[in-house]
């Protein structure tokens, strides 16, 4: 039906499958796939209806992100009736280059600017195809082996460690992943050592590069969890940064103030150096003024 563009027929398939499920028939997967293809391939009126009312369970990504990957905001906007999905589509299209700053959306869904700020990277967008999807990361950095300090002093800072752990909560809560977060006195290397390794590969990076890594992790569902989407990952990255800086009580914050404060921190990416497969997220951040540092180590695999 997709190849012949029989969109009404595909809607009928969804309706009949949903009715059959109420009678105990296990045909929900066919309905979910039909919704996915409507979001991906159908004209904006069909895609917008699925985004507003469909279920993204069992598909490669949330319908709003799938539809926003192949339709413009101008095309989708008239057909989006669900306030949350409408806001998420607007943010996704902003990340993909659409001018949506004046969009009429519920700003409380994601309380971030509807544009890329100068300090942000061009977040690699999700790519959806009929039978698969890819979620590119930013270019890898070159790291060097380093010995880690023998002694470290852990610090109990639940707010900041919880905000960093939230970046990969879907990997742990919905999938088979694991995550460790540590806060310690001293440098980034002290924080990595507080997680466990005695040696690690590590490289300093800019705040912009660290933000890209955090957004990618926050958008992902890991191996088996439901993907949360690019704008959700972006929001989680901004929030984690704000909490580390002690700005959470003033949220939402001015983007320029957040960037100025974040750029005085020392950011890094690291690796335990094992044979790494699947989903990997290893981040460090240190506050040289406070002599505090944080490290995150999260992994998930099929």
Q: What is the tens place of the pLDDT at every residue in 10-28?
A: 677 676 766 666 777 666 6
285-293: average pLDDT: 97
Residues 111 and 209 in one domain: no
Q: Report the number of distinct structural domains present in the chain.
A: 2
Residues 32 and 71 in one domain: yes
Phi, psi of 145 (to 5 degrees): -65, 140
CA–CA separation, 82 vs 21, rounded Å?
Answer: 24
* Token digits of residue 209: 């590069």
Residues 185 and 246 in one domain: yes
Residues 161 and 78 in one domain: no
Residues 96 and 224 in one domain: no
Q: How confident is the model at residue 274 (pLDDT cuts 50, 70, 90)?
A: confident
Average pLDDT, the chain: 92
CA–CA separation, 67 vs 165, rounded Å?
Answer: 29
Do residues 13 and 34 touch, judged by C-beta distance below 8 A?
A: yes
Q: Is residue 180, in this structure, part of any structural domain at all? A: yes
Which domain range does residue 29 map to? 7-115
**pLDDT for 34-66, tens place per residue?**
899 999 999 999 999 999 987 666 679 999 999
185-189: average pLDDT: 97
Which CATH number characterizes residue 238's domain?
Answer: 3.40.1000
């Amino acid at each position: 039906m997709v190849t012949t563009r029989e969109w009404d027929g595909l809607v009928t398939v969804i309706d009949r499958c949903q009715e059959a499920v109420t009678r105990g028939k296990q045909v929900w997967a066919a309905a979910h796939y039909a919704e996915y293809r409507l979001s991906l391939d159908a004209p904006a009126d069909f895609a917008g209806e699925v985004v507003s009312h469909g279920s993204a369970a069992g598909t490669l990504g949330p319908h709003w992100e799938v539809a926003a990957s192949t339709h413009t905001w101008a095309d989708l906007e008239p057909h989006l009736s669900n306030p949350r999905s409408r806001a998420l589509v607007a943010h996704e299209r902003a990340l993909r280059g659409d001018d949506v700053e004046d969009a009429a959306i519920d700003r409380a869904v994601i309380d971030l600017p509807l544009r890329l700020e100068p300090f942000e990277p061009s977040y690699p967008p999700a790519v959806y195809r009929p039978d698969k999807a890819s979620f590119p990361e930013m270019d890898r950095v070159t790291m060097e082996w380093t010995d880690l300090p023998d002694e470290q002093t852990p610090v109990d800072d639940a707010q900041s460690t919880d905000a960093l752990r939230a970046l990969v909560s879907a990997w742990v809560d919905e999938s088979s992943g694991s995550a460790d977060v540590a806060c310690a006195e001293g440098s980034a290397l002290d924080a990595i050592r507080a997680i466990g390794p005695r040696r690690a590969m590590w490289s300093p990076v800019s705040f912009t590069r660290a933000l890209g890594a955090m957004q990618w992790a926050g958008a992902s569902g890991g191996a088996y969890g439901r993907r949360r989407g690019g704008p959700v990952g972006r929001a989680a990255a901004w929030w984690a940064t704000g909490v580390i800086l002690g700005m959470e009580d003033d949220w939402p914050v001015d983007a320029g103030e957040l960037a100025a404060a974040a750029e005085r921190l020392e950011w890094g990416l690291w690796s335990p150096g094992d044979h790494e497969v699947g989903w990997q997220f290893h981040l460090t951040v240190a506050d040289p003024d406070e002599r505090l540092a944080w490290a995150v180590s999260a992994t998930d695999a099929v």
